[in-house]
Amino acid sequence: MSILSRFKEIIASNLNALLDQAEDPEKMIEQYLKELTGDLATVKRETASVMADEAKAKRNLVANQEEIEKYTLLAKKALEAGNEGDAKIFIKKKQSLEEVGESLQQVYDVAASNSQKMRQMHDKLVNDLNDLQRRKAAIEAKIKIAEAQKKVNEVAGANAANKAEASLNAFARMEEKVDKMLDEANAMAELTIEPTDETIAAEARYYEAVSNSKVDAELEAMKAELGLA
């Protein structure tokens, strides 16, 4: 899955550090907003697919366990009826299902791990987008203040110096508030989640029918449990 190959890159990304190094933060924010929006759309689509895989793997695992329980019960009923031949058949089927169950468990573990990673990426991207929007708003506010100051200077005329000084003081106070907004944004806890190693899907293993000695051993254990030994 292509988006999962970018998991470590996305999770480890530090947007605040990148923006602090940018010569033009406004343009850089626009670029990152575009990239993250595209990544988030992809993650949403892929997350739905991965969660569907996880649900299917879970259903298969549960169905396998139900089959194991069914043949265990049938084997016991056959013993109670005095039919050891049928009991051995049911036990052999149960043991075969148990081996398949090991593979189904591995498939489910991989699907669950992938699903967790997709949700981590989704949450990280959403928080990064929100952070960028706040930074963008703060920068735009500074630009508007600067433009307003320019107009004030143009209208001031002969008293431009005195008025400009007053306006600059006001601008400084407003800029200080905006800077505080930026500082608070930079102080937000990093959402980076330490990535876990990606589990490689194990191939399902199938074995030949278990030996009669293994079946006989479980048969004797069932007989002892039922008081038929």
* For the chain, percent of residues with pLDDT exceeding 90: 27
**Is the model more confident about 172 or about 192?**
172
Residue-level pLDDT at 180: 62
Among residues 103, 114, 102, 100, the alpha carbon closest in space to that of 199 is found at 114
Q: How far apart are CA 61 and CA 98, in angstroms?
A: 10
Over the range 122-151, which residues count as b (16 or more CB within 10 Å of their CB) and which as e?
A: bebbeebbebbeebbebbeebeebeeebee
For 128, the token pair is: 């990064």
Pair 135, 25: CB distance under 8 Å: yes
Q: What is the pTM of this model?
A: 0.53
For 22, the token pair is: 């940018």
Q: How far apart are CA 24 and CA 47, in angstroms?
A: 34
Q: What is the mean pLDDT of the chain?
A: 77
Let me know if 195 is exposed, middle or buried by CB neighbors in 10 A (0-12, 13-18, 19+): middle
DSSP 188: S
DSSP 1: -
Pair 14, 189: CB distance under 8 Å: no
For residues 75-89, average pLDDT:
94
Residue 203 has pLDDT above 50, yes or no: no
**Is the model more confident about 84 or about 132?**
84
Among residues 97, 67, 91, the alpha carbon closest in space to that of 223 is found at 91
Residue 198 has pLDDT above 50, yes or no: no
For residues 175-189, average pLDDT:
60
For 135, the token pair is: 């930074």
Residue 201 has pLDDT above 60, yes or no: no
DSSP 158: G
Residue-level pLDDT at 209: 44
Pair 219, 91: CB distance under 8 Å: yes
Among residues 107, 127, 118, the alpha carbon closest in space to that of 191 is found at 127
DSSP 24: S
